[in-house]
Amino acid sequence: MFQKTTTAIAFLLILSSCGVQQKSLSINDWYAFTKNSTERLQPSEAYECTNGMIRMYGDTNGYLMSKKSYTNFELSLAYRWNIEEQYKTKNKKNSGVMYNIPSDYPDKIWPKGIQFQIKENTTGDFIFLDQVTAKVNGKQVEPGASVTSAKFLENENPYGDWNMIVIRSFNGKITQYLNGKLVNEGTEATATEGKISLNYEGSPIDFKNIQIKNISKE
């Protein structure tokens, strides 16, 4: 356990040395949108936002969308499945973090962009939405409405434990890390900048420690 923790800390220190100072994203940096929305909502109108943690649950799919657009960035955050009895569901756990969502793209479930899939047994997959594509393992991903490119390895912590995600996007190269290990990588992505979203897809989930910084190299 000590060795695993030390390795993860060292990994984060290396990443944090490769760019400008990280900015923590507060609840004021987001707006909410749900499947039943006719307009954008304040985050607290859709989800519970307390003590630096975002708790997403309820009957309606939706997301928190960043107000700003980002290019050449590193995004880090922690997530866990909410296991409290009042929030439990029988559905297969499913969520995601989307990035490089075009700033002029209309709010809808789900928008155009790239998703770090958070899902039982498939956490770390790329999901390319609305014709976005990239090269993975040297092969072009066929564009489509929603196309999956599987992770390289499984590294999700046990149900209910916190997991650490790091996403890097630089000039079309996209890399996804889960708990200190590279789990997916692509090049020549056709979506290279845009907004970020935290998705709620019917499975209660918590997010915290959301940070972003600009990077100047891969």
At 84 the pLDDT is 75
Q: Find all residues with CB under 8 Å of 56, minimum gap 6, and list them.
A: 47, 48, 64, 95, 198, 200, 204, 205, 206, 207
At 90 the pLDDT is 62
- % of the chain with per-residue pLDDT over 90: 78
The whole-number average pLDDT for the span 160-175 is 97
Higher pLDDT, 153 or 5: 153
Per-residue pLDDT band for 2 (boundaries 50, 70, 90) equals very low
The whole-number average pLDDT for the span 58-81 is 96
Per-residue pLDDT band for 120 (boundaries 50, 70, 90) equals confident
Higher pLDDT, 129 or 92: 129
pLDDT(89) > 80: no
Cis peptide before 110 (omega within 30 of 0): yes
* Mean model confidence pLDDT for the chain: 89
Distances (CA, A) of 54 to 17, 140, 201, 213: 27, 36, 15, 20
At 11 the pLDDT is 46
At 15 the pLDDT is 43
CATH of domain 2-214: 2.60.120.560
Alpha carbons 115 and 96: distance in angstroms, whole number? 6
pLDDT(62) > 50: yes
Strands 48-50 and 70-71: unpaired
Structure-token match 């600009």, residue found: 214
The single-letter code of the amino acid at 83 is: I
At 20 the pLDDT is 53
